[in-house]
Structure 1
Amino acid sequence: MIRGWLWLLSLVALVMVTGCGSPSTGDSMDAQNTTPPGSSQRAASISATNNSSIMSNLSRLEGKATIVMTVNGSPITIEVDGEAAPITAGNFVDLVNRGVYDGVSFHRVVRDPQPFVVQGGDPQSKDETVPTSRLGTGGFIDPETSQQRYIPLEIKPRNADEPIYGKTFDQAKINVAPVLSHTRGAVAMARSALPDSASSQFYFALSDLPFLDGNYAVFGYVVDGMAVVDQIEQGDRIESAKIITGLENLKN
């Protein structure tokens, strides 16, 4: 029993985001450094849930969209749900539309002792000269501000009209399940210990991961191509990511 709990805690640590200082603080799964340097600076810089102007400037997806990622020559079809996670889904679709994910690698793959996650989305990984030790520390640099763009933690409880922002369910004292749960094939944002620290990195759930529900923001699901996800190895790249349907639902 103790060994099982230690395993669960180690997996939760793996979805924490790390950073290497401003501006390249990011959102990786790094069990060795789960508290990013400069976290107080990051919290002050976003404060998205307490600043309506920041929230209003973030992309939103008003509806659903379909994304096709090509990895190792094979497609992965993702349905992105802006009805339950408008800001998180909008951020992802906006980054796909910008070409941010084309050429990035999957820098962390965790399958042992049992299937956990495949994580990618660090823009630094496009540059093959970047040391692998740095991968997982980067996020999307908005060309309009020259700063890393962060989004708030956004999780919608079942039977709620709106998502909860900036807090985990434990922090918000929410005792119901989220609308979008961590079932196998879920796509969610990686982040640091700070709730509002997700940027561009995301992960695929390789199995049902209910202990992550209410803590990390799921924004969609793999609806076709999960066998491709199961074969991804560390270092494999996203050859392309394209919006197939739903671009009209993206509001910038």
Structure 2
Amino acid sequence: MAEIKDPENTIIVELKDGAVVIELLPAVAPQHTARMKELARAGAYDNVAFHRVIDGFMAQTGDVANGNMEQDFNIRRAGTGGSDLPDLPAEFSKLPHDRGTIGAARSSNPNSANSQFFINFSDNSFLNGQYTVYGRVLSGMEFVDKIARGEPPAAPDRMISVKVAADV
């Protein structure tokens, strides 16, 4: 596991194959960083499915309204919901969507990000300046690479637990 320099702005995502350590970027995207920590501390991300996983592109998760249900119907709906908190304004920056960066998922409205996020499998420069980057994987990308593919996957992988490192 990576050395954690700022536990308050580090997230640990437990996947079936191991822990993914994510450095949040509060200086770049303070509202998105705060939201992820708030939802992690509430346990909202625990057991949430990766509902859209495209090989060579990204793995999307974080639909706390629909993504933690076991029923197949709800997994098919995953990706349509967020949290009960208000949507966030875009916090676009010059940071590129490189492999391992965390981006805020949203609808066509740039100010519609809420709880969903994606982890880039590769450098996706076509997303630059269009989606908020607010974190990057420090360690465990090999576990992200093993997430089941599909839209939705037939048997989706889940975030077993999501914690702020300062709380562990």
For 1:84, give the aligned amino acid.
V
Within a 5 Å distance, the mapping from 1:82-121 to structure 2 comes to 82-111=26-55, 115-121=56-62
Aligned residues: 153
TM-score by length of 1: 0.58
Residue 196 (str. 1) matches residue 111 (str. 2): yes
- The alpha-carbon deviation at position 181 of structure 1 amounts to 1.6
Return structure 1 stretches of 4+ with deviation > 3 angstroms: none
Alpha-carbon distance between aligned partners in 1 of 2:84 and 2:17, rounded to the nearest angstrom: 28
- Higher CA-based Rg: 1
Q: Offset at 1:64?
A: 6.2
Mapped partners of 1:91, 1:122: distance in 2? 13
Structure 2: 5+ residue stretches without partners: 1-6
Shift of 1:133: 2.5
Give the structure, 1 or 2, with the largest relative contact order (CA under 8 Å, sep 6 or more).
2
For residues 244 and 138 of structure 1, the distance between their equivalents in structure 2, rounded to whole angstroms, comes to 26
1:73, CA displacement in angstroms? Answer: 4.3
2:100 maps to a residue whose letter is: G
Structure 2 residue aligned with 1:152, among 82, 89, 104?
A: 89
Q: Pick from 117, 123, 129 the counterpart of residue 71 of structure 2.
A: 129
How far apart, CA to CA, are the structure 2 residues paired with 1:133 and 1:64? 34
Greater shift in the superposed pair: 126-135 or 81-90: 126-135
Asked if 1 retains the 8 angstrom alpha-carbon contact of 2:17 and 2:143, the reply is no
Paired AA for residue 116 in structure 1:
F
Q: Is the 8 A contact 1:95 1:101 kept in 2?
A: yes
Of the candidates 216, 225, 230, which is equivalent to residue 145 of structure 2? 230
Structure richer in helix, relative to its length: 1
> C-alpha offsets along residues 9-66 of structure 1, whole Å, 9 cap, x if unaligned?
xxxxxxxxxxxxxxxxxxxxxxxxxxxxxxxxxxxxxxxxxxxxxxxxxxxxxx9611
Superposed CA RMSD: 1.6
Checking the alignment, whether the CA contact within 8 Å between 1:122 and 1:136 is kept in structure 2 is yes
